[in-house]
Amino acid sequence: MNKWTGKVAVVTGASSGIGSAIVKDLAKRGVNVIGLARRVELIEEISNSLGEVLGIIYPRYCDVSDLNSIKETFKWIEEKFGIINILVNNAGIQSSTVTLDESNVGTENINKVIDTNFTGAVHCAREGIRLIKKSNDYGVVININSVLGHSIPFGEFSHSVYPATKYALKAISETLRQELIVQNNMKIRVTNLSPGCVKTNIFLAAGVDPNADVFKVLPHLNVENISQAVLYILEAPYGVNITELTIKPVGEKF
């Protein structure tokens, strides 16, 4: 990770779960990390818990479902840092609302999932790539996806629009990669990282307790597995673009 020491990374959804693990691992390796989330105090706790590390963590409020919040945040980043080198689009939510729920709450939940998981990621990528280009240096965009962006297992549990947002995120990852080629930019790489089942609090929104007994027998990854995958992607030589990386726990059946 020496080539990224002193560089600047932006991680969305940085307050818990996969995002917090990524923030920790990057900071430990000397990367200065701007952690974005709505619960800024949790990022501050992460920073305090690490003690002295090579990188500095900068907690910053951002609601990625709100375009104005994204624009204001990246304006602040540009004013304070000038450029960035790494963007990890990690923010994501799930909902227990089924797609065919006709209630107002159902509509609001569907829109929130789409705006957070896909629309927000697109706008963060646009802003982030602009600041990576400004560095005139090598950079990486990593979109944290899901195996549900590749296939949808049948079952009584409804994933609602969550898989649709992940299919879309997979598509936009490839679109961004191709657009950079058309622009003759060979310094910025784009990766779509798709984990299998990961034990995080995202299950709470779907009505499943991540501490439930089912996780004692259900094969699952931990957040550190995903963070290590991010480090693996960053370690690739500059001329290598890992466009797609899917990781599953041993024994996962879908």
Contact 230, 88 (CB under 8 A): yes
Which residue out of 58, 61, 138, 162 is catalytically annotated? 162
Q: Phi then psi for 194, rounded to 5 degrees?
A: -115, 100
Q: What is the Cα–Cα distance from 205 to 219, expressed in whole angstroms?
A: 20
Residue 143 belongs to what H/E stretch?
strand 139-144
Q: SS3 helix, strand, coil % of the chain, rounded to 5?
A: 45, 15, 40
Contact 83, 107 (CB under 8 A): no
Give the DSSP per-residue string, 87-119.
EEE------S--TT--SHHHHHHHHHHHIIIII
Residues in contact with 51: Cβ distance below 8 Å, sequence separation at least 6, in sequence order: none
Q: Which residues pair with 198 in a beta bridge?
A: 221
Contact 117, 165 (CB under 8 A): yes
Q: Tokens representing 125?
A: 């990528």
Residue 138 annotated as catalytic: no
Give the DSSP per-residue string, 5-62.
TT-EEEEESTTSHHHHHHHHHHHHTT-EEEEEES-HHHHHHHHHHH-S-SS-EEEEE-
**Which residues are the active-site residues?**
162
